[in-house]
A and B are shown apart, each in its own frame.
Chain A
Amino acid sequence: MDPCSHHWFICNVRHGYLVEEACFECGGRLSFFSAEPVPPIEKYREGRHFWAYLGSFQTVKFDLKCSACGRLVNLNDVNGLMLSECTDSDCQVGVLVLQQAPDSLVYVAVCPNTTHSTGTCVSSEGIEALNQYFKAKLAPVGRKVTVVPCKLCNSFDKCRGTSIADVGLTDIQ
């Protein structure tokens, strides 16, 4: 058990673009963060995949650091947060949403490869730190949120929700 009760604060704020791509061959989707002034839009082949640009939007990434013990949790594997509106009783996230009190909301932490073809998703350490951070921030104002990794969605690409993103402001036409 961790001896520190952790007082997380946001650090290493990075501004950039979240670029979404889709594979013509398998229908898979991935996203990556780009700090370039103009996000890359070129098509490219990678093994059996042929990735093509779908879109991009401005976003902010950050890490969490504990002011008590100095522990840094790198959130590079979190490409964004989505407020879940799933009501699918066959989906773990949907079940969680249906169980919430009216003032409590579920957010999905979105990893770079939402098809999870590589078997990876947002780290459990990152999910735990995000939950602790938001719990501490929101408790004084009487709000609750739960953050879950996108691997819990039946199919993230078909999942209902509101992504926290700046869509449309600086899209490349």
Chain B
Amino acid sequence: MKVSELVQKTGLKAINEYKDREIESVYISDMVSDLIASAKTNAVVVTLQTHKSLIAAANLAAAAMIVIVNGRKPSEDVVALANRTGIGLFSFDLDAWAFAKKLVNLGVE
């Protein structure tokens, strides 16, 4: 499934312009440092973190997109860094569990 298709089916709100990559995996974590060693290439990263280090780590993990849950919004410098990496940033109003259920229902695991 492409990023754009997932956005359409889950009601995600796009925060930046993004590259429409093929999603290959999912990784849910609020530990930024864990991403490099644990997230697979082209992953959907689900987190409530909004710090710049999130983008720095997701870039090294070759993540396709980041979904920030609980309606949180990153600051402008975080969005600017995400733009440089091409990683899509999205906001989801509910918690990580609610988004995880949507992923499973869509067959994205």
Contacts and interface: CB of A to CB of B under 8 A. Distances in A.
Interface of A: 10, 13, 15, 58-60, 62, 80-83, 102-103, 105, 107, 134, 137-138, 140-143, 145, 162-167, 169
A83 B33 contact: no
The size bracket of the interface on B is 20 to 34
9 contacts: A62-B36, A81-B36, A81-B56, A105-B56, A105-B59, A137-B60, A138-B62, A143-B85, A165-B53
Interface in B18-37: 19, 21, 30-34, 36-37
Contact of B56 (A83, A103, A140): A83
Contacts of B36: 10, 60, 62, 81, 164
A140 B57 contact: no
Contact of B37 (A13, A58, A145, A169): A13
A145 B31 contact: no
Interface of B: 19, 21, 30-34, 36-38, 41-42, 51-53, 56-57, 59-60, 62, 64, 81, 84-86
B42 A163 contact: no
B76 to A, nearest CB: 14
Contacts of A13: 37-38
A167 B32 CA distance: 9
A5 to B, nearest CB: 19
Contact of A162 (B42, B52, B64): B52
Given A13-B37, A62-B37, A83-B56, A137 B31 contact: no
A166 B62 contact: no
A145 B86 CA distance: 13
A2 B56 CA distance: 31
Contacts of A103: 84-86
Given A60-B33, A140-B62, A141-B86, 6 more contacts: A10-B36, A103-B86, A145-B59, A164-B32, A165-B32, A165-B53
Contacts of B85: 103, 105, 143
A145 B21 CA distance: 19
A141 B56 CA distance: 15
Contacts of A166: 31-33
Nearest to A170: B31
Contacts of A59: 33
**Centre residue among A102, A141, A163, A164 by max chain B CB count within 10 A:** A164
Contacts of A167: 51, 53
Nearest to A12: B37
